[in-house]
Each structure stands twice: as structure tokens, then as C-alpha cells.
Structure 1
């Protein structure tokens, strides 16, 4: 009874809120600054943004996606390379949640706000292994960024989950195949802009636009046809947030780190950051 009362009080205090995160693998802040698709520019014009968010070293996918959803750096959560597996790692997590893993934002919300409906659609198959088993009811790998977004939009129309995370991989593929900042790379980024338009249209049609926070971010950038280098072009990422109360056209001048993303999502839902996290909510954009 006490747990139900707390849930009802939290819902009354914060109202109905939705958070949609679109994570674009390989979308470097520097490259986006060189040429910004109209749809992404519109997100910046109507929300708060920085193209100088900081990922973590090494600038490869698993450590950075893990840091984003775990609110901490690799030396704490232990995901230090793309070879990491739940039963195969070099550094043990400094802190463990109920699942015996370093706690993610999904695990925290599952524990603190069990009534929240969460869904993850991921283009890169290995993304799913970063999340504690059983905490996200809909955890689906769909190959191809367009197909991934289509599946996420279809589910949004059906269920309107409280937290939806969409991982898209096509930009990273373009970077590896043709090089970051090439014409082919830019075309891939433009295609992501079109997918964002489709997603925003679905959110608007569902009648939830006024209660939905939309965050566009990434794991890393790249140099040449690879990443993993200790350079700003590899390290810096975009962090663009739209939503109720978020100041429009506001360039964020405070440092934003990918580890701040988990804490920001939790804060939107009225949940305190996990004690093991070192990231902080981006207070400059939350009112």
C-alpha cells in the first residue's frame, strides 16, 4: 500500500511525462557543426543544445553507450571495450545493482518507478547486452536505422511508453565505409534528420507533444574512417533536448557529459540519481 501511495504521489507531482532518446552511433559534434540538417537545426532552434558534449575514453561504442545509460565512467562501470560481455570483462563494476550489474537508468526507474513503461529499439545488436535483464519489457534489436525507427514509431503509436530509447547505427556505418565528413557521411546524417521528422510527427499525432522530452545525442565522432582516437573530433558529441520548460534556442555553455544523460532522464521522472552514478542532471535546461 505504501509503495502504491508513493507511485501515486510521484505521478501527481510530475504529471504525465514521456522521454524519447534518439542515440545516433557515430554522430560527432564537430561533423554536425560543419553541416546541420534542417530537421536537427529545428531541434536546436526550439530546444537547448551543445555540440561539445563530452563522451568518454576510449571513444568506441560500448564504453560510451554504457556511460550514457549508467551515469558513470568506464573505470567505474567496467565496460572498457566492445569486447565486454556480462561474464567477460577486465575491470569489475565498482557498484552492483539488484541484477549484479552496474545500475543503468532503466534499472533505476524499474526499481523506483515500476509503473513506468519502457521500451528500447536498437540497430546495433550489442547495445542490448548493456541493460540489466528483465527491466525493459520491450527490448528489441531491429537491423537497419530506417527499420529500427519504423518499429519504434509503430510501438509509440500503440503504447506511448513513458521512456523510449532508439539506437540508430547507419551514420557510424557511413563513417567507417566512406569516412567522417564525406558526402556519404553527410547523406547518412541527413537521412537521420528525415527519421527524426517522422518520429516528431508521430509524437505530435499522438497528442503527447506537450508532455514529451526528446533528446538527440550520440556516443562518439570519428576521424578518417575510424574512431577510438583520443581527439576532440572523436570525443565530442551533440546533446540536444526539446521538451516542456526547456528554453528554446538555448546554447548550453556548461559542460555536458554523456554520463549526465542518465541523471537527466531520472530527474525528469522525479527520481534521484543512483548513489553509484557520478553524472549530474543538466540543470541549466530543466525547469
Structure 2
């Protein structure tokens, strides 16, 4: 696979606990056929990978997008705000914002987009590092529509090479109804339909620009009761999947020799950079899951 002809879509399914997917996998497969279809055809993937501690959204998503642990980024709670907080040692120049995958990808050759159902995530980017940052305002259907619209922005500019789309409804169901509830599991099906739409749009876009597509799907945490934040399996286990649309089997990169239980949210950024042929900065932790 040539890194010059690849588009990467990262889909974040907030609050999808791997502990519950693994607890009754047969039921989970019925509710999430798209997710498990990706898992079954993945180059590397697991439903019981590891997030960072504390397993809450702000530090976890920053770790996913930066490859740094919360103690390195300084983002340990959603109250972190670049307007008032001191930056980490590896911050974007002139800001307290931790360097992340958007900074590491060359804007001259890589068109990047972020569509966030959770508006907080837009604090991590600016116009210098991301050409397209869209706020879905808590509406996952809007996030799907905005991603489709963002692909049309490519006319006359670079094709999308990296896109991150964040969906929030699973996490909202956990907080409202409890992670062990039937309502929480029902939210999986709704999220899975949106995941299917996102992949179809990304595949159409990749095909129209003559690119191969790599899809990564990850969560940030699980939970129990109505909350999360403890260092226990129901909070710490997450799905992490890397899937490729490459049809030429002889060109498919193989995954590195990793133990499934050791796959971590920290592996997201180095994997994206490796797929796109970018140098992995010294501040990135984790392992690139593709050779």
C-alpha cells in the first residue's frame, strides 16, 4: 500500500465499553454487525483493548489523538481549557494545546478534518493544523451529514487524507440509563448504523480520489452505573480496530506482533502516522499496529 494513495478515517464511539461487548459477544454481534464485520476482517483488532487512566473522555481522546499519556499532556479532566491551563512540555507553539496527530501530519500534503459531536474536542485543533473543523453540537446524525459534506470540500484542493469523526450517543445512554442497562445496549445499534454510513461515505470518497481506505474504530472508555473513571475492566476495556479496504492481498501491510490484550488507545496516533508514511515524533508513545 502506497502511503501517498491512502485515506484514513478514525471513528470514535464514545463510551462503548469493551467489557460489555465481550460479556455477551453473540448479542453484541447482532446489535453491531458493522463493528464486528470490521473486526472479523481487520488487519488487527480487539474488543478488549486498554484505555488510559483516568478513563474519562477528555484525557482519553487527547491520548488517542496525541499518543501521549495524560501525565504528559496535562489533560486529566474535561475542565481542561486552553484559555486558562498551562500547556504540556510538548505543546503547540504559542499555546498550551498538546501536540497531536493533526500537528504531525503535513498540512501541505495532507487534507485533515474533524467532526465532533462533543464540541470540547475542537479545542485541540486550529486552522493552522486542520483545514476542516466542524461542530455537530451533540447530534450524531448531524455529525454523519457534516462528514459527508466535508468530503465535498476537496474540490480543487487535496483529497481528505485523515478524518476524525466523534459520535456521542452511546456515552449519553450510559450516563442516562446506566452502562448495564438495555437502553445502553440499544444505543449500540443506532451507533452501528451511523458507523456504516460513515464508512460508506469514506469508501465512496476514497474511490473517487483513487485512494485506498483505512478505517480505525476506537472508544475512549466504558463505565458502570451512570459513570466511569475507575481502574476496573468495565471502565478500562475498549474496542480498537484497524481495517483496510485494500483488495490486493499481496500489498496489505501486516500487523506488528502484539498481544491483543496489550493493544492500547495510545497506538492510534502512531498507527495513523505509519499508514500515511509520516515520521513518528519523539513525543508519541504506543505502537504502530501496522508495519
Q: TM-score range by the shorter chain?
A: 0.7 to 0.9
User: Residues 99 and 132 of structure 1 are in contact (CA less than 8 Å); yes or no, is this contact kept in structure 2?
Assistant: no
Aligned in 2, Cα 1:246/1:239: closer, same or farther, shift over 3 Å?
farther
Query: 143-152 or 31-40: which moved more?
Result: 31-40
TM-score (norm 1): 0.86
- Unpaired runs of at least 5, structure 2: 247-251
The answer to whether the aligner puts 1:272 opposite 2:261 as a matched pair is: no
Superposed CA offset, 1:185-210 (max 9, x none): 11111111111221222234342696
The answer to whether the aligner puts 1:81 opposite 2:77 as a matched pair is: yes
TM-score (norm 2): 0.85
The residue number in structure 1 matching 2:249 is: none
Q: 1:134 aligns with which of 128, 147, 167?
A: 128
User: Residues 39 and 193 of structure 1 are in contact (CA less than 8 Å); yes or no, is this contact kept in structure 2?
Assistant: yes
State the secondary structure of the residue aligned to 2:160. coil
The residue number in structure 1 matching 2:140 is: 145
Superposed CA offset, 1:97-120 (max 9, x none): 43543210101113xx52210010
The residue number in structure 1 matching 2:238 is: 237
Q: 1:263 aligns with which of 260, 267, 270?
A: 270
Aligned in 2, Cα 1:39/1:117: closer, same or farther, shift over 3 Å?
same
User: Residues 132 and 150 of structure 2 are in contact (CA less than 8 Å); yes or no, is this contact kept in structure 1?
Assistant: no
Superposed CA offset, 1:51-78 (max 9, x none): 1211111111100011111111011111
Aligned in 2, Cα 1:228/1:116: closer, same or farther, shift over 3 Å?
same
* Offset of residue 154 of structure 1: 2.8
Aligned in 2, Cα 1:215/1:103: closer, same or farther, shift over 3 Å?
same
The answer to whether the aligner puts 1:45 opposite 2:40 as a matched pair is: yes
Aligned in 2, Cα 1:99/1:20: closer, same or farther, shift over 3 Å?
farther
Q: Give every structure 1 segment of 4 or more consecutive aligned residues whose post-TM-superposition deviation is greater than 6 Å.
A: none
User: Residues 134 and 146 of structure 2 are in contact (CA less than 8 Å); yes or no, is this contact kept in structure 1?
Assistant: no
- Unpaired runs of at least 5, structure 1: 1-11
Superposed CA offset, 1:201-230 (max 9, x none): 223434269600011101111111111122
Aligned in 2, Cα 1:114/1:158: closer, same or farther, shift over 3 Å?
closer
User: Residues 99 and 133 of structure 1 are in contact (CA less than 8 Å); yes or no, is this contact kept in structure 2?
Assistant: no
| RMSD (CA atoms) | 2.4
The residue number in structure 1 matching 2:204 is: 205
Q: How many residues align?
A: 269
Query: 43-52 or 219-228: which moved more?
Result: 43-52
Q: 1:156 aligns with which of 135, 151, 157?
A: 151
State the secondary structure of the residue aligned to 1:259. helix
The answer to whether the aligner puts 1:69 opposite 2:58 as a matched pair is: no
Aligned in 2, Cα 1:251/1:210: closer, same or farther, shift over 3 Å?
farther
User: Residues 123 and 148 of structure 1 are in contact (CA less than 8 Å); yes or no, is this contact kept in structure 2?
Assistant: yes
* Offset of residue 133 of structure 1: 5.3
The residue number in structure 2 matching 1:59 is: 55
